[in-house]
Amino acid sequence: MKKHIVLIACLIALMAIGLPAAWILDTDMPFSIVVAGTGIIAFFGLYDISLPESPTAQDKESSLRFSIAGSLVIEYIVLVGVVAFFREGPDDMPIITQTMLSNFTSVVGVVIVFYFGSSAYLQSRKQGDSRAEDQ
C-alpha cells in the first residue's frame, strides 16, 4: 500500500509544482514537463507496484502490459485536464492541440482494447492448459 501512496504523491507534487509555474513564468514549458513527467513516473511506478517479490517471466510480461495501459490512461487524464481546464482566453484550442488530443484518444482506446483482449486470451489459454493436464 505504501508504493501506491508514493506514486500518487509524486504525481500530485509534479502537478502542484508545474501548473503554478506555468502561470508564474507565463510559458507553456512547465505544462510540457508535467505531461511528460506524469507519463514517465506513472509507467515506472505502476511497473514497480504490479511486480511481485520474486517475478517470473510471465509476471514481468503481465506487469509490463499493465504499466503501459495504466500509464497511458493516467497520461490521457492529465493531458485532457491540462488542455481543458488550464487554457487562457475564451478562444478555441489550437489545431495542433485538437489533433493531438483526438489522436491520443484513439491510441488510448486501442491500447485498452488490446490490454483487455490479451488478458482474456492469456486467461483462457491458461484455463485450457489446466484442463488438458487434468485429462
pLDDT at 46 over 80: yes
From CA 27, how far away is CA 48, in angstroms rounded? 33
Q: What is the total count of domains within the chain?
A: 1
CA-to-CA dists, residue 29 to 1, 19, 32, angstroms: 33, 10, 5
Domain that holds residue 10: 2-134
pLDDT at 1 over 80: no
What average pLDDT does the segment 10-22 reach? 87
User: At what angle are helices 2-25 and 29-50 packed, to 10 degrees?
Assistant: 180
From CA 134, how far away is CA 125, in angstroms rounded? 14
The pLDDT tens digits for 65-88 are 899 999 999 999 888 887 777 666
The single residue listed with the C-alpha cell 484518444 is: 105
Cβ pair 47, 67 in contact under 8 A: yes
From CA 80, how far away is CA 63, in angstroms rounded? 25
Cβ pair 34, 23 in contact under 8 A: no
